[in-house]
Chain A
Amino acid sequence: MSALTDTDQILATSSPPPLAAEGITVDLGGVRVLDRVSFEAGPGCLMGVVGPNGAGKSTLFNVIVGLLPASEGRILIHGRRIEDSRGIVAYVPQHEKVNWRLRMKAWDVVMLGRTRRIGWLRRPRRADREAVESALRQADMWERRSSLVGELSGGQRQRVFVARALAQGADILLLDEAFSGVDIASQEALVSVLHDLRDQGRTIMLSSHDVSHVAHYCDECLCLNSHICACGAPQDVLTPEVMREMYGPYGAAPVHGSGFDGHHR
Chain B
Amino acid sequence: MDTIADTILAPFQYEFMARALLVSALVGVMCPILGAYVVTRGLGFMGDALAHSVLPGMVIAFLVGVSPFFGVIPTAIGAALLIGYLTKRTGLSEDTTIGILFAGMFALGLTMLTAARGLPVNLEDILLGQVLGVSSADVAITLGLTVGVAALMIALHKELVFANFDPMGAAVVGLPTQLLDYALLALLAIVTVIALQAVGIVLVISMLITPAAAAQVLVRSFTWAMAAGSLIGAASAVIGLYLSFHYNLASGPAMALVATGFFILAAGWRRLAGWRRLARTAA
Would A102 and B222 count as touching, CB distance under 8 A? yes
Query: Which one of A97, A105, A118 lies within 8 Å of B166 (CB-CB)?
Result: A97
A residues with a Cβ closer than 8 A to B are 65-67, 86-87, 89-91, 93, 97-99, 101-105, 108-109, 111-113, 115-116, 118, 120-121, 148, 161, 164, 168
A124 to chain B, nearest CB (A): 8
- B159 CB–A CB distance under 8 Å: yes
| Segment with Cβ contacts to A, from B9-17, B171-179, B268-276 | B171-179
Chain A positions within 8 Å of B164 at CB level: 99, 102
Q: Classify chain B's interface size.
A: 20 to 34
- Give the interface SS of chain A, mostly helix, strand, loop or mixed: mixed
B residues with a Cβ closer than 8 A to A are 39-42, 155, 158-159, 161-162, 164-175, 216, 220-223, 225
Chain B positions within 8 Å of A115 at CB level: 158-159, 162, 170, 173, 175
B262 to chain A, nearest CB (A): 20
Would B166 and A93 count as touching, CB distance under 8 A? yes
Would B172 and A65 count as touching, CB distance under 8 A? yes
- Give the interface SS of chain B, mostly helix, strand, loop or mixed: helix
Would A103 and B162 count as touching, CB distance under 8 A? no
Kindly state the separation between the CA atoms of A111 and B169 in the bound complex, as whole angstroms: 13
A172 to chain B, nearest CB (A): 11
Would B171 and A67 count as touching, CB distance under 8 A? yes
A139 to chain B, nearest CB (A): 16
Kindly state the separation between the CA atoms of A240 and B39 in the bound complex, as whole angstroms: 50
Would B172 and A112 count as touching, CB distance under 8 A? no
Chain B positions within 8 Å of A113 at CB level: 173
Query: Which one of B167, B168, B171, B222 lies within 8 Å of A104 (CB-CB)?
Result: B222
Known contacts: A91-B168, A93-B168, A121-B155. The answer to whether A99 contacts B40 by CB under 8 A is: yes
| A98-B165, A102-B41 given; 19 more Cβ-contact pairs under 8 Å | A65-B172, A66-B172, A93-B166, A98-B166, A99-B165, A101-B40, A102-B40, A102-B164, A103-B222, A104-B222, A108-B221, A108-B223, A109-B165, A112-B169, A115-B159, A115-B173, A116-B173, A148-B221, A164-B169
**Chain B residue with minimal CB distance to A101?**
B40
Known contacts: A97-B166, A98-B165, A99-B164. The answer to whether A116 contacts B222 by CB under 8 A is: no
Would A102 and B220 count as touching, CB distance under 8 A? no
Would A105 and B221 count as touching, CB distance under 8 A? yes
Chain B positions within 8 Å of A120 at CB level: 155, 159
Would A87 and B173 count as touching, CB distance under 8 A? yes
Kindly state the separation between the CA atoms of A109 and B174 in the bound complex, as whole angstroms: 17
Kindly state the separation between the CA atoms of A235 and B70 in the bound complex, as whole angstroms: 70
B106 to chain A, nearest CB (A): 28
Would A89 and B172 count as touching, CB distance under 8 A? yes
B7 to chain A, nearest CB (A): 38
Kindly state the separation between the CA atoms of A103 and B275 in the bound complex, as whole angstroms: 23
**Chain A residue with minimal CB distance to B162?**
A112
Kindly state the separation between the CA atoms of A113 and B209 in the bound complex, as whole angstroms: 30
Chain A positions within 8 Å of B161 at CB level: 102, 104, 108, 112
Kindly state the separation between the CA atoms of A161 and B14 in the bound complex, as whole angstroms: 56
**Chain B residue with minimal CB distance to A108?**
B221
Known contacts: A112-B165, A115-B159, A115-B162. The answer to whether A103 contacts B221 by CB under 8 A is: yes
Chain B positions within 8 Å of A108 at CB level: 161, 221, 223
18 A-B interface contacts by CB (under 8 A): A65-B172, A66-B172, A86-B174, A90-B172, A91-B169, A98-B165, A99-B166, A102-B161, A102-B165, A103-B225, A104-B165, A104-B221, A104-B222, A105-B221, A112-B158, A112-B166, A115-B158, A148-B221
Q: Which 8 A-B pairs have the closest CB atoms?
A: A86-B174, A102-B40, A91-B172, A101-B40, A65-B172, A102-B165, A112-B162, A93-B168
Query: Which one of B41, B155, B158, B221 lies within 8 Å of A99 (CB-CB)?
Result: B41
Kindly state the separation between the CA atoms of A101 and B212 in the bound complex, as whole angstroms: 13
**Chain B residue with minimal CB distance to A87?**
B173
**Chain A residue with minimal CB distance to B37?**
A102
